[in-house]
Structure 1
Amino acid sequence: MLASNILTYSDFLKDSKEPLEIRKAMVARFKDLKSITAVALEFNTTRKTVRKWVGRFKGHISSLKNHSKAPITPHLQIKDETRELIIKFRKERPSLGYCYVVSYLNQQGCTEIPSAATVYAIWKKNRLLKRHYKKSEKKKDCRAIKQKYLAFEKIQIDVKELTDIPNYLEQSLALKKKKDLNRKYGLPMYQYTARDLKTGALFVSLAHEHTRHNSSIFVDMLLTHLKRFDVVPRTIQTDNGTEFVNTRDALADTLFKQVVRRNGITRHKTIPPGAKTWQSEVETSHWIIEKELYDYVKAPNIGNLVKKMRAYQWGFNTLRKNGYRGDITPLESLRNEQNKNYATLHKKIMDFPSCILDKKFNQFIKAGYHVGLVTKNPLIKPYFSA
């Protein structure tokens, strides 16, 4: 990374309290230059700052977060007994406020009466307060920003675990018992999901295991599918899960990253640690699929499940209207694109071949990773054999 000669590290701090990517780039640059002074000059900051973040980096990006400056043992901290009474009161009487807390503490013979700010801070820390959004916060809407993207320019990918869905779990255990399977569950318990930020188009596959290989197979199939229609995404966005990144060394490469970047155009981007709202599109789709499919689906076997999943995916992309996007389907959103190359794409682009990713592992390795996968050879037309 080449730092700007105009912006300094302190300038980035004005826009973000924790510029983790800048700090990570600083550490990576130090590994290349092996010089604190050279990195400090390049990033327009002090040697002390560079030395601090190089020393703190433990391989994972969360080690570059700010440390808390709060005292370990505050001298004005209230007693544990008083704290427990305040929490107990809120759980029993969630609609009553501070004045009633004071009366309750007096009735319990409590000798210290904390301030209203302290009481509400305790409730907030223990998640006993209902959050009230300001009018300005309610007006914050990313739809205008999302409309500036091209279709399939930015895609979010995530993995959903299916073990907490009663209807689905019951059928999975029944199938395992019926067929006397060696694995823990009869049906695949992980859903690999990709969703386009602009149109809301959904692409889904299933897997028995939550692994980096399955993530790589999924993104390879997705990029291959889009490439057939001459579409190349600019960004694949994921969280910081082990199926996507190397959590022990955030600077190290992974198989998933190699597959994403192979065409020389698409780049892999991770969200800040804990910032789940950055994946709101794909997370919302998980909730929708659970309520509309998994809570009601009847799947006597895996083949039947995959067919129903693909049918649901097709309906989601071509028939189901999305109120958030103006009460239109993802296909209609694609047809409304100003760029005619996208607006005239064949609707089969919405028909991603859902599959069981674990079954593609052998073809995935033979097709070439560690060297190259199916999408590396433009002459290869079909997907892995079904």
Structure 2
Amino acid sequence: MALVELSVVEQRYRAVLAVLAGASVTEVAASLGVSRQTVSVWKSRYAAGGLAALADRSRRPDSCPHQVSAEVEAAVCDLRRRHPAWGPRRITHVLERSGSVSPAPSRMTVYRILVRHGLIEPGVRRRKRSDYKRWQRDAPMQLWQMDIVGGVMLVDEVTGELSEAKIVTGVDDHSRYCVIASVVVRATGRAVCAAVAGALRIFGVPQEVLTDNGKQFTDRFGQGGEVLFDRICRENGIAHRLTQPASPTTTGKVERFHQTLRRELLDDCGPFTSIEAAQQALDAWVGEYNTERPHQALEMQTPTERFAAVPAAERELLGLRVPAVLAAVPAPRTELVADVPDGSTPDAPETNADAVMPLVVPGGPVEFERVVPACGNPQVAGKQFWLGPARSGLSVTFWADTAVIHLLVAGARIKTVRSHLSVTDLTQLAARGGRAAGPSPLPTGEGCAFEVDRTVNNSGLVGLGRHQVQRLRQAALRERAGDRWAESDYVFTTRTGRPIEPRNVYRSFTRVAGNAGLRVIRLHDARHGTATLLTAAGVAPRVVMEILGHSQIAVTMNVYTHVVQDTQREAVSHMDRLLRRRLDRE
């Protein structure tokens, strides 16, 4: 016989019928494996409601005195919908602080309400917050964390073209207070430093600044020089800390600030029509972030409640040193002394100001001093001048105009380069400690003097052929590169003054050879070709040796033997022709 599966209701119904037919409750309960009380309940429910009463019933109580009211659930859901990034803990804190509902629900109650209404996805329980150790400074203005973030979209109202702007950000390590939030078109070193300088004027100078290894902050993995950001830190006594490469958790606080910025502003704001509009929206959000938004890491305090800037009296006493490339040039002559960042007294009399700062003709030459830093790269108006670490600590005098810059040590000229300074740059340098320059350090006379650095070969010769003077080419490249030019002692450089990669030279050589229809050869073979052509042209072997830089003439003769042999055959043939002519005459 086939087995027939009975439903729960059918089993209960048969048990009730068995009892009504005369079977005892004990026997029926034993056959089904349930208690006597259960069978009696089924019998009573059947008598009261028939077959439908034997179905399973809900065990939910009829009433719950401590159940959350509908008003509380509505308030929780309303906060979540207005702030999609807020979690149960922050919503609980806001309800407690506002007093809009009483009593305020607990964090788990808010969590269950959000799950019940489908406003959050139930997550896996993580480790307790007490299990984590939080690293932070003991007081505000001890450490700032800085970084750069994108995501600000700009739209051209005429063409509809989209472009992305950047935001220079900085937060205080102790309070999470946002001290820097500046929208820039391009995150260049100058734009970043301008944002930093503005924050230093408002809040004062922190003890330390922590950044990643971006080129706006350091040249750690470049030439190793001092960038503009390093100079601001050095001149204002700020310790600049750098993270290890590929370690974003070191600057975790500013990275977490970026996450909040994206969730609460950038993801929903849409493109802006201008930088000013983007900055206005960012300022409004930062104001709310600093003063109203509770921070879970601060025990639900706002950053403003834990932040304190440097006192105004201390800021006024210590002052702020800002490089001339970032500072605006004041119009009145008497106000220039007050803005000098090298320690001049702001209350000095006007007569002393005129004595210290002589009148400089606009666009005329200017002289000023710089101390060579430990890296050997003094900087003027955003450009570095390589002098080497051996000259660190020396005071270098700069003679500069719009055409040329001379560097002098103890009155002796040590270097001359083409100038990158404009008339405005010269005016700024004069306003910040410069003076009217005397005559040019170069000797006067007819003609134009130009310096070229060449290396003396092992024969004591220096080549200055028409095609070897590459400094003229560098002058044109330097003018086109502008602030991107990196000063070095190399003759052959890239368009920005940096050393040429060997593989790039070979790639260009291969392309030229292909365009000329020649087979691809080694770059070194061009050296052999030069020597071959010189030898075939009748140039003396010793001259060829000196041009190639060979230490011995035997090396030249051994390498280019085939050329010498061809030349000898040509000489013998020439002698044979002379003898035949003499015999014909006789």
> Which category describes the TM-score, using the shorter chain as reference length?
0.3 to 0.5
Greater relative CO (CA pairs within 8 A, separation 6+): 1
Name which one, 1 or 2, has greater alpha-carbon Rg.
2
Whose strand fraction is larger, Structure 1's or Structure 2's?
Answer: 2
